[in-house]
Structure 1
Amino acid sequence: MEPKASCPTAAPLVERKFHVLVGVTGSVAALKSPLLVSKLLDIPGLEVAVVTTERAKHFYSPQDIPVTLYSDADEWETCVIRAWDRSKPLLFCPAMNTAMWEHPITAQQVDQLKAFGYVEIPCVAKKLVCGDEGLGAMAEVGTIVDKVKEVLFQHSGFQQS
């Protein structure tokens, strides 16, 4: 998320633009992508783009995402994260079935992301599409949007509404 002045000759209180990149991978949680993007667009001063894997598109219609959609046939997230400017916030929302969530490798990976300073929006417990009941469902859209607002406020003085 990066502030950008809309016009250098504008009035002293220049509207700030914040850029949010939403990454979507091949999880059933991708179903929430259109709603998440729509709710993020309700935040004044926020510009949103989406990068998605081809597998993620099986869970939603790209026409339902009202912003620029970047697509890649490969799993892109490691490249995006490795190239990320670490002075800027990065939030991640894990989503997987309960067995995957409970695997020790998952805890190591989540801990590593947090060690880099990235912010976890924890998964929640519920009955999952696969039939499992337990942790693994992506956080609710409202929770994610609230966390984005909180992080914007902490990192830039963004005015919460």
Structure 2
Amino acid sequence: MEPQASCSAAAPLTERKFHVLVGVTGSVAALKLPLLVSRLLEIPGLEVAVVTTERAKHFYSPQDVPVTLYSDADEWETCVIRAWDRSKPLFFCPAMNTAMWEHPITAQQVDQLKAFGYVEIPCVAKKLVCGDQGLGAMAEVGTIVDKVKEVLSQHGGFQQN
């Protein structure tokens, strides 16, 4: 996600625009996309767009997402992230089954993303769709939205109520 001020810091709060780009891949966690986008759109001054893989669309209806959807093959993720302006925040919200989460490669990949300065919104433990019980479920929508609000408040663009 990319909270970004597109107006000068002196602009009145109502004129400031922040942009969030939500990336979604082919995981059952994509079911939460319509709710996540709707909740983000409740934040004043926030603009939202979504980059989605075709496989992710299996889990939600594009008609239920009230923002621009950019669709591409699976390689979009590495292209967007490699071109990211690292002075802007990037959050990642892991979602996978427990066996995948517990694999040592996953820990290495998460550590590498953190080393780049990206912010993890950790997965949570619960009974997963695959039947596993444990860590691997994507963070709750409210947790993700709260983190976006926190970053916006740090950039002076959002007043928490």
What TM-score does the superposition give when structure 1 sets the normalisation length? Answer: 0.91
Cα offsets for 1:20-61 (capped at 9, x unmatched): 000000000000000000000000000000000000000000
Task: Confirm or deny: 8 A CA contact 2:38 2:66 kept in the other structure.
Answer: yes
> CA 1:73–1:4 in 2, change beyond 3 Å: closer, same or farther?
closer
Q: In the TM superposition, what whole-angstrom CA distance separates every residue of 1:67-89 from its partner, at most 9, and x where no partner exists?
A: 00000023311110000000000
Residues 126 and 137 of structure 2 are in contact (CA less than 8 Å); yes or no, is this contact kept in structure 1? yes
Q: Distance in 1 between matches of 2:140 and 2:103?
A: 23
- Conserved? CA contact 1:39–1:145, under 8 Å: yes
Say whether residues 1:125 and 2:125 are aligned partners: yes
Change (3 A) 1:42 1:103: same
Tell me the CA shift for residue 143 of structure 1. Answer: 0.4
Measure how far apart 1:11 and its partner are.
Answer: 8.0
Residue 8 of structure 1, CA deviation: 9.2
- Cα separation, partners in 2 of 1:44 and 1:99, compared to 1, 3 Å: same
Aligned residues: 161
Q: Residues 40 and 50 (structure 1 numbering): CA distance in 2 closer, same or farther, change over 3 Å?
A: same
* Shift in Å, 1:93: 0.3
Give the Cα–Cα distance (whole angstroms) in 1 for the partners of residues 125 and 82 of structure 2.
30
Identity of aligned residues (%): 92
Matched residues in 1 for 2:84 and 2:152: separation?
A: 17
Aligned equivalents of 1:7 and 1:88: distance in 2?
15
Q: In structure 2, do the counterparts of structure 1 residues 16 and 4 end up closer, same or farther at CA, with 3 Å as the change threshold?
A: farther
For structure 1, which runs of at least 5 residues remain unmatched after alignment? none
SS at match of 1:40: helix
User: What root-mean-square deviation, in Å, do the aligned CA atoms of Structure 1 and Structure 2 show?
Assistant: 2.5
Determine if contact 1:33/1:65 at 8 Å carries over to the other structure: yes
Using the alignment, how far apart are the partners of 1:97 and 1:126 within structure 2? 10
In 2: Cα distance, 1:11 partner to 1:146 partner: 24
- Please show how residues 1-161 of structure 1 align to structure 2 within 5 Å: 15-161=15-161
Note the C-alpha offset of 1:159: 2.1
1:5–1:55 CA distance, 2 compared to 1 (3 A): closer
Q: Distance in 2 between matches of 1:9 and 1:137?
A: 37
Query: Larger relative contact order (C-alpha < 8 A, sep ≥ 6)?
Result: 2
Deviation, structure 1 residue 153: 1.4
TM-score normalised over the length of structure 2:
0.91
User: Which consecutive residues of structure 2, in runs of 5 or more, have no partner in the other structure?
Assistant: none
Structure 1: how far apart are the matches of 2:8 and 2:25?
37
Q: How far did 1:152 drift?
A: 1.4
